[in-house]
């Protein structure tokens, strides 16, 4: 990949400069950016290089953007982002907040010191090209974003300006102009496409289940039986379960869930099989104790290691003699969605270790292994192996939706997954029963 032209100081001047080369004519041109080291010059550098990249590395028409004449009363974009950051931290859930942070960093990098009122569709389009291209020189490198995620990020930028209009920070015309930019369409842009998420592989699932700790295995099986999201189950407490003796079905109403900000109620039902999974975790716990604890998984892991011990107790370390006083990290009170996902990944890697050319060598550290994979160009093969022999918690929700739809129909799957519309269930979660189609076509076609 061609190297990005560097931001540098002109010899004998206190001015920043960047030199670009036309990809067709091979002509080189210097672009003066302003005082070296100033935030304005760095923003102008990022903008002019992005314009050069978006134009297939042809030289921009103007030698440098005209300096903006900011007036004291004009709100700069960096100040608008600072205000929205405070709002988002209180009103957005963690995952949504992280997505906002990613796009806000990009806006700050390119247009932070520009008046917010001057941010229009052309600048939004330039930012979108940066999302498509990625940035290998960032630390850590920012990979090119997928098309659907880019469209979501562009929509988040519009939401920032919509909020700013409601706060009377910018005119409504700014938000209206940004809404004129059409979204990226499949097959009509250079943005990469992510593969569609499908149900977890049955073979992988059966091989991995015995290797999971008891709490994690219970979470996996509960997801398969209920179709709940991982974030809805990891914080389950004894007091959250409502037992109905008349119907024989237990229920759980999460206070915080994906659609709670829309004032929609989410109810998860536990039938007889799910109740059998939950009963061992209800005994001996306080009302507000979390059911699925990483600390219990750690005790189970150490007990299994001790059972496999071959060294006599009179030799080597004895249990409890090498405990670190005041460790930096302790197991949490409950699993997070990330720690739950990592626990599944570890078990998948144990059940399906990569073949010898892709596996870690004896005594090789993880960083050395990663460097070796890059040098030997086997990093892509390792990722492909993991994709084929791993599953993540969200796929279990897809699996449950598919099974419920197959047995009881689309409406039942919609209700179990908690969707407001069956269209989402049909298009995204519940896979159609291809076996029925095959049988029909065997008879008809």
Q: What is the pLDDT of residues 251-278, one digit of tens each?
A: 888 876 666 555 567 788 888 898 999 9
Specify the number of domains making up the chain.
Answer: 3
- Residue 31 neighbours by CB under 8 Å, 6+ apart: 17, 18, 19, 20, 48, 60, 63, 64
Q: Once rounded to an integer, what is the mean pLDDT over residues 392-421? A: 77
CA proximity to 420, closest of 266, 214, 304, 226 = 266
Over the range 300-328, which residues count as b (16 or more CB within 10 Å of their CB) and which as e?
eeeeeeeeeeeeeeeeeeeeeeeeeeeee
The better pLDDT of the pair 154, 67 is held by 154
Does residue 324 lie within any of the structural domains?
no
The better pLDDT of the pair 414, 110 is held by 110
pLDDT at 432 over 80: no
Decide: residue 288, CB within 10 A, 0-12 exposed, 13-18 middle, 19+ buried: exposed
pLDDT of residue 439: 57
Average pLDDT in the chain? 84
Does residue 1 lie within any of the structural domains?
no
Same domain, 207 and 172: no
Confidence grade of residue 443 (pLDDT, cut at 50, 70, 90): low
pLDDT of residue 351: 93
Same domain, 305 and 424: yes
Q: State which residues form the domain around 31.
A: 8-54
Q: What single DSSP character describes residue 248? A: -
CATH of the domain at 107: 1.10.150
- Residue 272 neighbours by CB under 8 Å, 6+ apart: 248
Q: What percent of the chain has pLDDT over 70?
A: 87
pLDDT at 65 over 60: no
Does residue 379 lie within any of the structural domains?
no
Same domain, 335 and 293: yes
How far is the C-alpha of 18 from the C-alpha of 65, rounded, in Å?
A: 13
Q: Are 16 and 34 in contact (CB under 8 A)?
A: yes
pLDDT of residue 101: 94
Give the alpha-carbon dihedral of 24, 29, 35, 38, to 10 degrees. 10
Q: How many helices (H) and strands (E) does the chain have?
A: 18, 6
CATH of the domain at 428: 1.10.443.10
17: phi then psi, degrees, rounded to nearest 5: -150, 155
- List pLDDT tens digits, range 131-188: 999 888 777 788 899 999 999 999 999 999 999 999 999 999 999 999 999 999 998 8
- Residue 316 neighbours by CB under 8 Å, 6+ apart: none
pLDDT of residue 94: 80
């Amino acid at each position: 990949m061609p190297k990005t032209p560097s931001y540098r100081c002109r010899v004998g001047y206190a001015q920043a400069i960047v030199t670009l080369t036309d990809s067709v004519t091979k002509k080189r041109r210097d672009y003066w950016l302003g005082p070296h080291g100033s935030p304005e010059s760095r923003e102008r550098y990022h903008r002019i290089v992005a314009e050069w990249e978006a134009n297939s590395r042809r030289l921009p028409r103007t030698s440098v953007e005209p300096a903006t004449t900011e007036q004291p009363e004009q709100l700069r974009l960096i100040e608008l982002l600072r205000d929205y950051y405070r709002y988002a931290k209180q009103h957005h859930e963690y995952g949504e907040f992280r997505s906002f942070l990613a796009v806000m960093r990009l806006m700050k990098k390119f247009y932070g010191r520009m008046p917010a009122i001057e941010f229009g569709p052309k600048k939004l389009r330039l930012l979108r090209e940066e999302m498509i291209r990625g940035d290998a020189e960032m630390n850590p490198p920012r990979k090119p974003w997928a098309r659907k995620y880019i469209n979501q990020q562009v929509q988040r930028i519009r939401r920032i300006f919509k909020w700013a209009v409601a706060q009377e920070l910018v005119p409504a015309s700014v938000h209206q102009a940004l809404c004129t930019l059409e979204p990226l369409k499949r097959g009509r842009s250079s943005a990469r496409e992510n593969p569609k998420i499908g149900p977890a592989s049955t073979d992988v699932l059966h091989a991995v289940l015995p290797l999971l700790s008891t709490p994690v295995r219970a979470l996996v099986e509960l997801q398969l039986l209920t179709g709940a999201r991982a974030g809805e189950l990891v914080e389950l407490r004894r007091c959250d379960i409502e037992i109905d003796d008349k119907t024989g079905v237990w229920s759980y109403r999460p206070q915080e869930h994906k659609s709670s900000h829309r004032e929609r109620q989410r109810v998860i039902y536990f039938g007889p099989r799910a109740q059998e999974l939950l009963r061992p975790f209800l005994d001996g716990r306080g009302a507000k104790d979390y059911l699925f604890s990483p600390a219990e998984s750690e005790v189970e892991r150490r007990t299994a290691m001790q059972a496999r011990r071959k060294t006599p107790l009179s030799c080597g370390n004895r249990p409890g003699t090498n405990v670190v006083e005041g460790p930096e990290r302790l197991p949490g009170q409950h699993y997070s969605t990330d720690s739950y996902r990592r626990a599944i990944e570890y078990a998948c890697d144990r059940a399906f270790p990569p073949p010898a050319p892709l596996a870690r060598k004896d005594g090789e550290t993880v960083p050395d292994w990663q460097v070796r994979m890059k040098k030997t160009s086997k990093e892509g093969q390792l990722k492909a192996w993991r994709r084929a022999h791993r599953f993540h918690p969200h796929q279990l929700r897809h699996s449950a939706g598919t099974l419920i739809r197959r047995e009881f129909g689309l409406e039942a799957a919609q209700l179990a997954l908690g969707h407001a519309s069956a269209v989402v269930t049909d298009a995204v979660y519940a896979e159609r029963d291809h076996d029925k189609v095959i049988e029909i076509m065997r008879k008809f076609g």
